[in-house]
Every structure is written in C-alpha cells, then in structure tokens.
C-alpha cells in the first residue's frame, strides 16, 4: 500500500512539473481519487437517521394513594409515604404498613408507618 502511494505521489508530482513547464492550463480531473482504505480499521457503520430510531417511551407513573408532601431537613420538598400497586419511581424504602417512602435520609424514614420494612 505504501508503495502504491509513493508511485501515485511521484506520478502526480511529475504531472505537476510537466504542466508548469508547458505553460498550459490543466483541467481538473473529472472524478476525485478514491479514499484511502485502511484494511485493519473497523468498517464504519452507516449513520441511521434519528427518525428511524424508536423513541423511548417514558414510564407511566405509578398511581399513589395520596399527593401529600413535606419539606425535609435539607429544605427539599419530598413526597410523603404512600401506598402503590408497584414500586413507584423515586421510592427509597418500604414501610411496615406497606407504603413506599421517598425519604432522602435514613433517620425518621417511615416513622409514622411502623418503621422500615426494607430499603430499596
């Protein structure tokens, strides 16, 4: 491959010198030279248009038994423990009464719900 490139470079150089000495204007080649292919490199994958890629469907929120919130010790508004048919997004613990806690700290988690049954 290197030899081919050297031969091609020499031929192009010779053509350039010949054209300069004859004072004639050269017309550009009709087609550009082919790109250099590296046989050891992995083949490039064709780009897929964004429109053909399936969009991720957002998960449906799990219905909660209440919409109560409280402000924790950091000043963040946190959802109060609530019952749900499955684990809701953001839940951190399951309380002993079966409700899900969204507490951001361990201290006081599920304190009015029988304590923590298990951490998520």
State the burial class of residue 80 (Cβ atoms within 10 Å of its Cβ: 0-12, 13-18, 19+): middle
What pLDDT band is residue 81 in, cutting at 50, 70 and 90? very high
The pLDDT of residue 5 is 74
The pLDDT of residue 63 is 86
95 forms bridges with which residues in the sheet? 116
70 forms bridges with which residues in the sheet? 78
DSSP 113: T
Task: Please give the helix or strand (H or E) that residue 7 lies within, else none.
Answer: helix 2-22
Residue 22 has pLDDT above 70, yes or no: no
Give the mean pLDDT of 49-56. Answer: 59
Give the mean pLDDT of 2-12. Answer: 69
């Amino acid at each position: 491959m290197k030899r081919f490139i050297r031969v091609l470079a020499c031929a192009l150089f010779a053509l350039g010198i010949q054209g300069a000495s004859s004072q004639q204007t050269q017309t550009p080649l009709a087609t550009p030279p082919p790109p250099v292919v590296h046989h050891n490199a992995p083949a490039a994958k064709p780009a897929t248009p964004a429109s053909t890629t399936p969009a991720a469907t957002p998960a449906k929120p799990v219905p909660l038994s209440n919409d109560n919130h409280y402000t924790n010790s950091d000043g963040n508004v946190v959802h109060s423990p609530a019952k749900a048919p499955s684990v809701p997004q953001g839940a951190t613990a399951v309380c002993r009464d079966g409700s899900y806690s969204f507490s951001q700290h361990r201290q006081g988690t599920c304190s009015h719900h029988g304590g923590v049954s298990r951490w998520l």
